[in-house]
Amino acid sequence: MATQDQYVVSVVEKYRLALEEGSPSHRVADEIAPLIKQWGQEYVQGITISGAYAKNTAITLASHVDVLVLLKPIPGAEIKSVFWRLFEFLTDQNLKASTREVSVRVPCKKLQVDLIPSYREGKSGNILFNKRSGEAVHTDVGQHVHLVGSSGRQQEICALKIWRERNSLEFPSFLVELAILRALEGERFGQLAENVHCVLRYLGSKFESAVIRDPANSENVVSNDLSEKAKKSIAKAARDAIYREDWEKILQ
């Protein structure tokens, strides 16, 4: 009979996606790049895969690809204007574009591609536009990728993303990651089932009142990206999961 850890690992590996050369995520990035260069012209400095694929936490149940579009400052155009210009350009190309919190989403090769327009700030920082707040956000996407990629907690993150999708919860991935890293501070590695339980206990008892900040800029309160109603739904789902002792009911 499989142990709890073996069961959780099997579920994670069932849904986990790897970033490899020639993978669907690479192909959609390559396909969309000429269009982005046509739009941004000489201001485009780089087009790189970011988000879950870069952090090795992508799952098939939430298969969108984050692509960071790095731009030199365009004279007379704040990042808010750039965001909406990109949306209008892609709409004019009949690509069924829609806007997300910091990205413009387009379908490509059966995947959803989230294009994140960004101005460079300093050596490695980024200025993004947050549609929800209507404000520019100063952060560092590369630091986020490094933080999660070097955390050793990718399996736990994948497991909680699977749990999120199975429970149809509104829970942005970056906030999922930061909540997990906080919940698992000081916890041992290599005890996947216990660590997932530890995160669920944190979500059920402490998450609603937690103030979780962007590690690249403490002025950005990432936990504010969720409404109180959404936080309550996450906390309730976590408490319900804890009461189910059968892992096949917690994670499937």
Which range has the worst mean pLDDT, 21-30, 88-97, 100-109, 171-180?
21-30
What pLDDT does residue 1 have?
39
Instruction: Say whether pLDDT at 83 is over 80.
Output: yes
Question: Which fold would CATH assign to domain 16-141?
Answer: Beta Polymerase; domain 2 (3.30.460)
Q: What percent of the chain has pLDDT over 90?
A: 75
Quote the longest CA-to-CA distance of the chain: 65
Average pLDDT of the chain?
A: 92
For residue 109, name the pLDDT band (cuts at 50, 70, 90). confident
Rounded (5°) CA angle 209-211-217: 170
The CATH number of domain 4-15+147-250 is 1.10.1410.40: yes
**How far apart (Å, rounded) are the C-alpha atoms in residues 24 and 109?**
8
Predicted TM-score of the model (pTM): 0.91
Separate counts of helices (H) and strands (E) for the chain: 10, 11
**Average pLDDT for 92-105:** 93
Q: Which tokens is 16 given?
A: 């986990």
Distance of alpha carbon 167 from alpha carbon 25, whole angstroms: 25
Please give the Cα distance from 18 to 64 (Å, whole number).
Answer: 13
Q: Return the domain boundaries, the chain.
A: 4-15+147-250, 16-141
Average the pLDDT over 14-38 and give the result: 81
Q: How far is CA 218 from CA 114, 134, 171, 233, in A?
A: 25, 19, 20, 26
Tens digit of pLDDT for each residue in 31-77? 889 999 999 999 999 999 899 989 999 998 887 889 999 999 999 99
Residue-level pLDDT at 182: 98
CA distance 214 to 143: 10
pLDDT at 30: 84
The Cα–Cα gap between 25 and 11 comes to 22
Q: Angle 233-240-56 (CA atoms, 0-180°, nearest 5)?
A: 70
Other beta carbons within 10 Å of 139: 23
Q: What percent of the chain has pLDDT over 70?
A: 97
Residue type, 233: S
pLDDT for 130: 93
What mean pLDDT do residues 113-122 have? 93
Summarised one tens digit per residue, pLDDT across range 202-238 is 999 999 999 999 999 999 999 998 999 999 999 999 9
The answer to whether the Cα torsion of 135, 141, 147, 152 is positive or negative is positive
